[in-house]
Amino acid sequence: MNLQSFDLNLLRVFDAIYIERSISRAASRLNLSQPAVSNALARLRERMGDPLFERTAEGMAPTPRAKTIAEPIQRALDLLREGLSVRSGFDFSRSRRSFEFAVEDYGENVILPRFLKWLNEVAPGIRIVIRPEPGIQAKEALRRGTVDLALGYFVPGTDDFRHHCVMTDSLLTLARQDHPDISERLPLETFLKVRHVALIPRTKSMPMIDLALAKRGLQRDIAVQVPHFQSMPVIVRNTNLLGTMPKRMAVLYADHFGLQPCQPPVRTPDFPVYLIWHQSADDDIAHRWLREAFIDLCQRL
């Protein structure tokens, strides 16, 4: 391919469609019109000699060729953004500082792998320690400075903490590919008939999917409860149980384990994911660089 005649903006369109699995959501992410994104995709398909994405009931599914080029394109875009950004005062490329994150398995699976890959390329001397605990439970460690940043679904609620909503997500249900009761759609009747694997509640509030059902006077049949999302796809692959979890995590698991993603049959609101830190770290230039880089990456996931 001759890069001199190639419009590199098409790569941004590819990246947005690959992430969102939707032309309309990609257009919103890029602040473009839907026809403009469709036109860009048509041009890219012609240049690549491949359809790249195919329409399915669950959205724009990437072709094998698209899956092959997605990671190099994302890596190239990350390096370009970093090279064009200005972050002075902290020589991150030579730093050997350590930072501790408190995250649950959502952040550990969806966000941190890509962030750590980027970090290893631009700041290979920086060391990251992951503490597997909800952000809201890390308040005292954040105050003491033994934890630098936390990810959570709730804000701490006191003035000495800072927070930034780094992304929002929705829910998706997973089933095994040859599930006897499910084909392309998941009607409410089937959702209630089939049994489920669910996360053990981490707070006193009811999970969103169960709240939505309860408003209709309904409840799902939970056969198994697990402490982490990570065990759910293995159970789903080997049983007829359904597992409902955050969409970005479900898409990763569906690709990796060969599972069938389904839209839940009841509406639930999108939920926020917050980056949390203590006010004592506000003026730490290294900490500021790290959290700004983290926020920037999350906004592109």
> Looking at residue 261, what is its pLDDT?
93
Dihedral sign of CA atoms 203, 209, 214, 218 in order: negative
pTM tops 0.85: no
In angstroms, rounded to a whole number, what is the distance separating the alpha carbons of residues 174 and 178?
A: 12
DSSP 181: T
**Tens-level pLDDT at each residue, the chain (301 residues):** 556 667 888 999 999 899 888 999 888 888 889 999 999 999 999 888 999 999 988 789 999 999 999 888 887 887 776 555 544 467 888 888 899 999 988 888 899 998 999 999 889 999 999 987 766 678 888 888 889 999 988 888 888 899 999 989 999 999 999 999 998 789 999 999 999 999 988 777 788 999 999 999 999 999 999 988 999 999 999 999 999 999 999 999 999 999 999 999 999 999 999 999 999 998 888 899 999 999 988 887 7
Task: Read off the amino acid at residue 222.
Answer: I
Closest CA relative to residue 1, chosen from 42, 48, 71 = 48
List, in order of start, the domains of the chain with CATH numbers. Answer: 3-66 (1.10.10.10), 98-166+272-298 (3.40.190.10), 171-269 (3.40.190.10)
> Looking at residue 2, what is its pLDDT?
57
Query: Within 13 Å, how many C-alpha atoms sit on residue 51's CB side?
Result: 8
244 close to 171: Cβ distance less than 8 angstroms: yes
In three-state secondary structure terms, 52 is coil
In our burial notation (b when 16+ CB lie closer than 10 A, e otherwise), range 130-141 reads eeeebbbebbeb
> Looking at residue 148, what is its pLDDT?
93
DSSP 282-299: TT-HHHHHHHHHHHHHHT
Query: Within 13 Å, how many C-alpha atoms sit on residue 278's CB side?
Result: 15
> Looking at residue 86, what is its pLDDT?
46
